[in-house]
Chains A and B, each alone.
Chain A
Amino acid sequence: MNTVVPALALSGVSKHYGPVAALRAVDLTLARHSVLGLVGENGAGKSTLISIINGTVLPTDGELRVNGVAVTPGSPADAARAGIATVFQEQGLISNLHVFENMLLGREAGFSRAGILGRSAMVGLARDVLSELGIAIDPLAVTGELAFGERQLVEIAKAFALGRIYPVEPIVLLDEPTSALSDKETQILFNSIRRWREKASIILVSHRLSDVFAVCDHVTALKDGTVNGHWAVADATPDMLHEAIVGRPRSAGYYKEAEQREDLGEVLLDIRSVSVPGQLREVSLSVRAGEIVGIAGVLGSGKTVLANAITGAVRPASGEIRVGGKALKPGSRADALAADVGFVPAERNIAGVIGMHSIEWNMTLPSIRSFRVAGLPFLSGSRQASVTDGWIARLRVRTPGRAVQIRNLSGGNAQKVVFAKWLARGIKVFVLDDPGRGLDVGAKEEIYVLLRDLARQGVAIVLVSDNLPEIIGLSNRIITLRSGAISAEINAPANDKPAETAVVPHMV
């Protein structure tokens, strides 16, 4: 009987914001003790759907049933009583509280006698839940002192703690749990999810198709607010999912491999035995005009340090970095920029764009001096406007206008603005640290097209990424780093791309 009644069933769920339909008649079924993958591009409606399931958004229409019983839509309290718990993308933990306090946040009433909390009961329950889940974290630890991946586990434990307070089996909604985790942390999480399946039913929202194949039983693809496909994972292929998500078949060249340049120009970037104590050892590497060199390595391998050394954010203790034949002053960002080295940082919102400023102000920042009028100290407003509009059109930044604050753009569009900052200025060397981070499949593809364009124009590109298929697909050559030193150099011509299994052994 239990196998027939699903843990969660949505039927005909719609959500309209004014004239905009975020979701249209969505049906979704989560079988008990299974993991359902929910995939789709940014704006496909995944977040809205999750919010409707956990009661924070009231659907315009439709019905929710948990174990066959209807749940009041739009009531977070009702959803919680039904065992629904969400693990958010942006972590919902308070860093100065202890782990057990976070796990039971908002549920203290059951532990309180005359307003005084029964601390030992709370700690006991938290410890119980953690050990049952096989999570080795002390409930008395201060949350802010845990690593990112550990905090994510605490969030998950928080969801399971709910099942102890209400006599129900939890339905756990994991919203992009892997987007900020290292490969190793992701593996640990997936192993845990497989075990937890026996005690819960899980929905996993993810950008990464590899997540779906690693851990899900079923997968539902959303596109433009409707269900565009539902499969048992055993019957699905990456190409099928890709097509359902993007709405067009996965072209043979998702990474535009056919456009990869094989006729390379002169050496533009020349790194000669650069060392940073404890982080990089004698790294030498040269990149030619039109070439994309991928830097692969695990967390702590030194790949981000290498990117920072090229852009001048980190000062090497020894060695030399030359751009176009000229040696850069070590550790000088100004010198690197003067030599036309562009930089796309991994932390887009902290290091790439100023959220409170307009597209125009962000886009013109690196090149602002070129907008001065005839050597006079003031800026031409009309030229800034026309250049900005030009790049918005060329890169197809989806925005109502150039005055829109960056914070109102999606990740993919904000990343295009980061690219435009450098394109508007003109660059010889482009250093990218995880350019696809947080972007959906479609936005990533647009970024890849831009990279191929830049290579065609003779820019030397250094691509640091956690995403191995991306590195293999895009790069002419792959450099693997291990403990700060180059462990291998692997050629990756368009017609003979190495397999992931050929690269990974050099990373670990």
Chain B
Amino acid sequence: MEAKLSQSATTAMPPAWRQWIAKHAIALYPVLVILALVVFFAVQNPNFATFDNAMNIGRQSSVLLLVALAGTMVIMIGSIDLSVGSIVTLAGIVAALTIDSAGPVVAILAGIGTGLVVGLINGVTLISLKVPSFLVTLGMLSILSGIANMICGGASIMFMDLSLTNFVNAELIPGLPTIILVALLSAAALTFIAFKTVLGRYLFAIGGGEIVAANSGVPVNRYKVYAFMLSGALCGLAGVLLTAQVGAGTPAAGANMLLDSIAAIVMGGTALSGGIGGPQRTILGVLVIAILSNGMDVTEVSSFTQEIVKGLVIILAVASTIDRKKYPFIK
């Protein structure tokens, strides 16, 4: 009888490693996609799996990581920030305009400040006019693009002071370009904020159930504004870094960041409906996109084909990463 009992108990409970996999499946899928991509490209071209190329991938994806982290903080509360790319553009232009006259520190602060103000406007518009974030930030995207083009008049803004450019390409830690370091530190800081601070807990709570959060004493409106300000400031920083990296402020700098960042966020496992996921997940999503782009560059795939492949991989990756049990239906 006892033997029978223990036998039925083991058949009912899957072994520990399978439970662990089931529990972490959502985080493991992107890792598997990354491994598959790495193996595939390494076989295609021996230059892919090298330290130098890994640093290339890092340099190419640092700005995208910052933008995707920014978007994550807003998607966590169940809203969306479509103005991320246009903030990158405008903040980059502001930094390019100020660096020669006021120096790199002011340029950095001006860029971040630009993003912060835009985020504040996004958030306050959302809560005071009760316009959905999708539309508020869609409008903001258009406004900022217009402003950026007016400032630039169609051309790029060049600058002479190369201190910032040298700084982001330098290696504060030998072997690791500073821009990658900044992006990784930002990711770590945001993960800490998400899971170890009142701010993070409130953002998750708002995304998980706004009414419950309000009933529990969360100042919902104020924290929504904080989420958009955080997003704006991060995009501002991303804009400054991009301008430093490129060596100019250009009116199209952030144009293709929006879709890549949303794809990275969702692939990482943060639900568009909010409440679950987080910045740590987004890192993996960004890696998928970065490795894919770099790998196709290295294997000399034409840029048109790249777009098609990227679209397919995004759909397939999201199809396999979203934990569909959490969604009663998909629209």
Contact = CB atoms under 8 A, between A and B. Distances in A.
B19 to A, nearest CB: 12
A369 B202 CA distance: 10
B177 interface: no
Given A356-B208, A357-B205, A333 B196 contact: no
Contacts of B219: 334
Interface string B219-238: 10000000000000000000
B208 A354 contact: yes
A381 B196 contact: yes
Task: Give the residue among B11, B211, B217, B275 with the most A Cβ atoms within 10 A.
Answer: B217
B12 A352 contact: no
Given A354-B208, A368-B198, A378-B192, A19 B215 contact: no
B41 interface: no
B212 A352 contact: yes
A351 B201 contact: no
Contacts of B12: 18-20
B269 to A, nearest CB: 13
Nearest to A364: B201
B43 interface: no
Given A361-B205, A365-B205, A379-B198, A356 B275 contact: yes
Contacts of B202: 368
A311, A345, A356, A362, most chain B CB atoms within 10 A: A356
> Among B201, B208, B216, B326, which residue has the most Cβ atoms of chain A within 10 A?
B216
> Of residues B201, B205, B215, which shows the largest number of chain A Cβ atoms within 10 Å of its Cβ?
B215
A377 interface: yes
B9 interface: yes
A353 interface: yes
Interface in B289-328: 326
B211 A350 contact: yes
A351 B8 contact: no
B275 A357 contact: yes
Given A19-B12, A357-B275, A361-B204, A369 B218 contact: no
A342 B275 CA distance: 23
Contacts of A361: 201, 204-205
A351 B197 contact: no
Contacts of B11: 18
Contact of B209 (A18, A354, A377): A354
Contact of B326 (A338, A356, A378): A356
Nearest to A16: B8
A97 interface: no
Interface in B58-95: none
A368 B217 CA distance: 10
A362 B209 CA distance: 11
Given A350-B211, A354-B209, A356-B208, A421 B197 contact: no
Closest 3 CB pairs of A and B: A18-B12, A354-B208, A337-B217
6 contacts: A19-B12, A313-B215, A338-B217, A354-B275, A365-B217, A378-B197
